[in-house]
Amino acid sequence: PKHPGTIDLKKFGARIFVDAARIHSLRTGVPSSSTVQRLRQASQKLGIAADETSAVIEGFNFIQLLRLRSQHLDTEHDAPGDNRVNPDRLNELDRRILKEAFRQARKVQTRLKLDYQL
C-alpha cells in the first residue's frame, strides 16, 4: 500500500454521504446543492426519522472536520495536504467518533441497497 495505516476520508467516508444525498435528492426532487441540506430535506420527504438523519449528518460533519484539520496540520508542517488520516494518531475520543461516523456511513449504504435493490 502506498499509505499504510491511513484512511482516505474523502474517498471512503465523505463520498458515501455525498453520493447518498445526491441519490435521495434526485429521487425526492430536492433542489439544494448542499450535502447537509440534501440529506435533511430528502430524509424528511422519505419519512426517515429526524434523529436518524441527525446522526448521519453528524457523521458526515465529523469526517469533514477531520479532513480539514488534517489538511491544516499538514500545511503547517510543510507537508502536502491530502484527505488521509492515520486512526492510530488520533486521540481516543476522535477515534471513537470516527468509528461511529463510519457506522453511520454503513447505515446510509445499507439503506441505499434496500431502497434501490443494489
DSSP 79: P
The amino acid that residue 32 corresponds to is: S
For residue 28, pLDDT over 70 is answered with yes
pTM of the model: 0.91
Tell me the mean pLDDT in the region 25-29: 96
CB atoms within 10 A of CB 18: 16
For residue 81, pLDDT over 90 is answered with no
- The separation between the first and the last C-alpha atoms of the chain, rounded to the nearest angstrom, is 29
Q: What is the rounded distance in angstroms from the CA atom of residue 80 to the CA atom of residue 36?
A: 28
Do the beta carbons of residue 88 and residue 81 sit within 8 Å?
no
pLDDT top residue among 74 and 95 = 95
The pLDDT tens digits of the residues spanning 46-57 come to 999 999 999 999
